[in-house]
Copies of this chain bind each other. A is one copy, B any other.
């Protein structure tokens, strides 16, 4: 059967070259970097330092500005809670876009409980925040602005450079979550005016279990995982050496090959976008049509529910994600998870029909043939679900009545 992976936004396959660079640190050089007095530890420490330089290179930072974490979620928690606690004396007000990932939104909850105030930034119907809104939202007690680089669900790229400039003018820290974008589109911490940047290895063909937070020299953070003195005191715990080496390798490869990857993904993405638009009715694209992640095609289909779409796609060997929380609610907290995603609500999609949202996110290994396969099966699947749906039936009856 076909095995068409169009869910790169959830995770990417490890690049085999990255795996090769990780391998020596499993069986041969397994040392703990803190035990660098001996050869095993020294080899591990060198691997971590080399990876730090490579990750820094991806975003034009300096090696000592990279703090390795267990992933993007931890990096976002460290950025938000760490900055809030470190700059508490200066103020307790934070500005965030309303389309941030749960790992930013939920990191704010314990802070709110402790009296911090959060101003959410609205986005337009393409999912973009307005830098002028950031200017208006900043108060004398604002300590942090957090706006993501690109949205994973709808693909929209945010105007981070303008937001960073405004934050800097007002002497407020600027954090950007680049989980979905890093390694895929260029990101320069200077150009973005960013003080804190979240990166995730498994989103750019690196391993799971490792991420990084860029921390601009001079920026303070309260560490969130306390213990030994690793990562210059920002993050305790024995380093995930093979994982970090893998993140370094993935960063080096991405830096080198990002441009051709993006070129290919834009071509494939356009083919998919145009094809879907032409063949599936009752379909609405989401996110910005131009300022979006390469190879990212997101939309919702009326009268069809997301999980059912995904299940049928999977039966045809096509793996994708649903923007609605529904697709992951098999382990959700409770039935409330069944509602439409906050991002779709933020861009104004009516909540009674947007449970049918789909995100196709292509990767460097995908092909035109795979796109064409998806273009063949999607209309069939949509039709099948419509024919089962009471809402579609009502719509058709109304149309007949309206016409008659």
Contact = CB atoms under 8 A, between A and B. Distances in A.
Interface residues of A, number: 78
A27 B36 contact: no
Contact of A39 (B101, B237, B314): B314
A40 B7 contact: yes
Given A35-B319, A228-B103, A240 B41 contact: no
B34 A328 contact: yes
Contact of A38 (B30, B207, B236, B319): B319
A222 to B, nearest CB: 8
B32 A238 contact: no
Nearest to A318: B38
Interface in A266-299: none
Interface string A318-345: 0111100001101111000100000000
Contacts of A164: none
A237 B10 CA distance: 11
A107 interface: yes
Interface string A35-57: 11111110000000000000000
Interface stretch (A70-78, A143-151, A366-374): A70-78
Copies in the complex: 2
Interface string A7-37: 1001111101001001000110011101111
Nearest to A224: B224
B7 A38 contact: yes
A227 B76 contact: yes
A31 B19 contact: no
Contacts of A337: 229
Contacts of A200: 238
Contacts of A321: 35
A373 to B, nearest CB: 15
Given A5-B40, A7-B38, A16-B27, A103 B227 contact: yes
A307 B38 CA distance: 10
A229 B35 contact: no
A72 to B, nearest CB: 7
Contacts of A38: 7, 310, 313-314, 319-320
Given A10-B41, A37-B307, A226-B107, A208 B238 contact: yes
A70 B237 contact: yes
Contacts of A362: none
Contacts of A3: 39
Nearest to A4: B38
A208 B26 CA distance: 9
A351 interface: no
A319 B38 CA distance: 6
A242 B233 CA distance: 27
Contacts of A40: 5, 7, 319
A247 B200 CA distance: 22
16 contacts: A7-B35, A10-B34, A11-B32, A34-B331, A37-B327, A69-B70, A70-B70, A70-B237, A73-B236, A74-B237, A77-B225, A77-B226, A106-B226, A210-B240, A224-B224, A224-B225
Interface of A: 3, 5, 7, 10-14, 16, 19, 22, 26-27, 30-32, 34-41, 69-74, 76-77, 101-103, 106-107, 109-110, 200, 202, 207-210, 222, 224-229, 232-233, 236-243, 307, 310-311, 313-314, 319-322, 327-328, 330-333, 337
Q: Which 5 A-B pairs have the closest CB atoms?
A: A209-B240, A103-B227, A73-B237, A70-B70, A38-B319
